Chain A
């Protein structure tokens, strides 16, 4: 091809794609920029992405939270939920996936199909009976209803189990057989051979589990009633209530701040995320 035409074509491509990309991330940049603008500037220079007067005041104001409870508490609650929830989800999923991938037992196909069907179940079908169940246990206004499903492979973990099963199936059986010769039992095969080899799948599951729990809104909204237990997402909703505060700077600051952990994880593990979605269709 003509080199000049090629250069022009490539330039047009980059202009087009970068243009679309700019439109895509503009809202997020705008949110970030607004959180650093002074109060008078926020609604005056709306389209500008560069604050004329850079201020961190909204962050210190916003952090104070509401009702005497600061965002320190909300972040602590979110970390409990996302941290314990993610560890539990990854551990349980790997354990269960090993059973499905490596052990032939009666009823396996039936249960595996059942698990795949749960991938398509909307949460709305379970949420009311689960709420009634947890109310009867006296667990409303505790973290147990949020965490228990994650120890038991529910709440979307069928995705992780499925992904890990696919991953384990690619590991040659000879490794298991060699271990059996050495007198290693099933649990040993799982923990010493399979687990180290499926590290990429563990990382991908961990990232998505972190995202889902961090952003989860419905479950904490239903189960956590006292503000001291609010996670960041539920706290943000109260904090940004349009009929309440009008400290827009603080609302922008706290909103942007809550996205920062997600963005950091995204930039650190971008490749894992892309591969996870591309191979299993995990929802983002």
Chain B
């Protein structure tokens, strides 16, 4: 009874305020100290030269000037990253949706297949998988062995070839289509069956059903997957670091990898911070464009108010 008395003694609103902040305090502390202040400080660091051992020196816009006019590796890195993201994201989402639609049928063992397709994704960005991928595309690796068994004795050095190396990484990312697949599958299950039943009566073709019912109903899920995958692929790190080490000739020296090398291998923290500013602005711009364009193609069920 005494505890109840105490709760009553405090005015409800003040008690709520105190308890609310008490419960969110661990996160709030981390958010301010480890996220907010770092983000703000990067907008200072990016304008300095800083090697962590001596005090940062203010440079003005020099880092950015160098980046855009006097650093060919930066330009190459941006190009490679955009190429990688713009090829891998649509491919990955295409496979994810195709397989999700295959699995959204009434057959036996669907659960087993679902787990099966998801397995490569759960191994995810681990170093072990990247090491495995490197050996698969090695000159004696699995791919060349299969090709020669099929009669193409080509012996291509996939990872040493400036054209092919980036594609081994694209394949690696596309191979891990499991999580967007599961999200698509959940979305497909939400589409009311009646919509399809009507279309059967109207005699609509498979393609028409797909374009007129499935895609619009699924568009919020496509939207979500597109944004998340775009962010992941623009910042991919472990795979190029292990599989190709950014090579050959910088063709897979993706943005996050180049940033890491500048900041943590050459200890150019200022330059790295400037790169991070551009990265976050780019991610914000892409997300903004997708959000804005969403009003044209994302269909929300108004009744459910999603």
Contacts and interface: CB of A to CB of B under 8 A. Distances in A.
B132 A31 contact: yes
Contacts of A218: 237-238, 260
B103 interface: yes
Interface string A246-284: 001001101110110011001100100110011101111
A interface: dominant SS: helix
A259 B287 contact: no
B31 A153 contact: yes
A99 B179 contact: no
Contact of A259 (B34, B50, B129, B224): B129
B113 interface: yes
Given A24-B117, A132-B52, A152-B34, A180 B7 contact: yes
Contacts of A98: 23
B279 A124 contact: yes
Interface in B256-298: 256, 259-260, 263-264, 269, 272-273, 275-276, 279-280, 283, 287
Nearest to B260: A218
A175 interface: no
A66 interface: no
Interface string B148-160: 0100000000000
A196 interface: no
A186 to B, nearest CB: 5
A183 B3 contact: yes
Contacts of A266: 115, 119, 122
Interface string A122-150: 11111111111101000000000000110
B134 interface: yes
A27 B136 contact: yes
Interface residues on B, range: 35 or more
A108 interface: yes
B127 A217 contact: yes
Given A152-B33, A284-B122, A185 B116 contact: no
Contacts of B35: 118, 121, 126, 154
Nearest to A278: B186
A92 B132 contact: no
A86 to B, nearest CB: 16
A1 interface: no
B82 interface: no
B283 A152 contact: no
Contacts of A148: 34
Interface in A178-218: 180, 183-186, 190, 211, 214-215, 217-218
A236 B31 contact: no
Contact of B118 (A31, A132, A274): A274
Given A130-B34, A154-B34, A258-B128, A92 B27 contact: yes
A164 B145 CA distance: 48
Interface residues of A, number: 96
A96 B24 contact: yes
Contact of A125 (B119, B237, B279): B279
Contact of A24 (B38, B120, B235): B120
Contact of B17 (A106, A115, A153): A106
B218 interface: no
A221 B52 CA distance: 17
A71 interface: no
Contacts of A274: 114-115, 118, 182
B87 interface: no
Contacts of A256: 128
Contacts of B212: none
Nearest to A186: B19
A233 B239 CA distance: 12
Contact of A215 (B17, B126, B133): B126
Nearest to A158: B27
A128 B117 contact: no
A95 interface: yes
A124 B259 contact: yes
Complex A-B, nearest 3 residue pairs according to Cβ-Cβ distance, in ascending order? A152-B30, A99-B23, A105-B20
Given A99-B20, A106-B17, A125-B279, 18 more contacts: A14-B109, A17-B102, A24-B119, A98-B23, A122-B280, A122-B283, A129-B37, A131-B264, A132-B269, A151-B30, A183-B2, A217-B237, A248-B135, A262-B122, A262-B126, A274-B114, A281-B183, A284-B176
10 contacts: A17-B113, A25-B116, A30-B136, A124-B276, A129-B42, A186-B23, A258-B127, A279-B186, A283-B228, A284-B178
